[in-house]
């Protein structure tokens, strides 16, 4: 599975796997509790493949950020997204030293770490790494 079938839905926690497209929206399955639901076209849906993190040089695709976290953690879990703001920023600085602190907010770092841990718990990081190669 690649990041182009993993979705983030505004207002809903966690990540979702795209099952199929429907006339009125999408059929998705939660990666947290495996429940299937229908998401209407009125929801703001982001495909993880299309998300990048600002660095001082350019934008880095999310899959590359996930690869850097996986390398740091030896493919294990990252720190919790519930850690305090300073701890999250320090951790992210270790993973991505040139990220743009003015354009990448604490909430962005929390999302990235939460998403990484969800993918790691569901054994989806290996497929993300294969897709990168």
Beta-ladder partners of 37? 28
pLDDT tens sequence across 4-51: 899 999 989 999 999 998 888 999 999 999 999 999 988 999 999 999
Q: Alpha-carbon Rg of the chain, whole angstroms?
A: 15
Quick one: tokens of 131?
A: 């897709």
Q: What's the rounded mean pLDDT across residues 61-70?
A: 95
Q: At what angle do helices 106-121 and 62-72 cross, to 10 degrees?
A: 70
Q: How far apart are CA 100 and CA 103, in angstroms?
A: 6
Whether the Cβ atoms of residue 28 and residue 18 lie closer than 8 Å to each other: yes
The structure's pTM equals 0.90
Q: What structural domains and CATH numbers belong to the chain?
A: 3-48 (2.30.30), 51-132 (1.10.10.1650)
Burial class (CB in 10 A: 0-12, 13-18, 19+), 96: buried
């Amino acid at each position: 599975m690649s990041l182009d079938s993993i979705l983030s839905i505004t207002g809903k926690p966690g990540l979702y796997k795209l099952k199929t497209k429907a006339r009125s929206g999408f059929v998705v399955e939660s990666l947290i509790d495996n429940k299937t639901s229908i998401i209407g076209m009125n929801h703001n849906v982001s495909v993880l493949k299309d998300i990048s993190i600002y660095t001082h040089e350019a934008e880095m695709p999310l899959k590359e950020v996930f690869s850097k976290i996986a390398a740091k953690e030896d493919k294990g879990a990252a720190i919790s997204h519930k850690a305090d703001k300073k701890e999250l920023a320090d951790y992210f600085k270790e993973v991505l030293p040139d990220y743009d602190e003015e354009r990448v907010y604490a909430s962005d770092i929390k999302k990235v770490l939460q998403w990484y841990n969800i993918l790691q718990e569901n054994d989806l990081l290996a497929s993300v790494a294969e897709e990168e190669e």
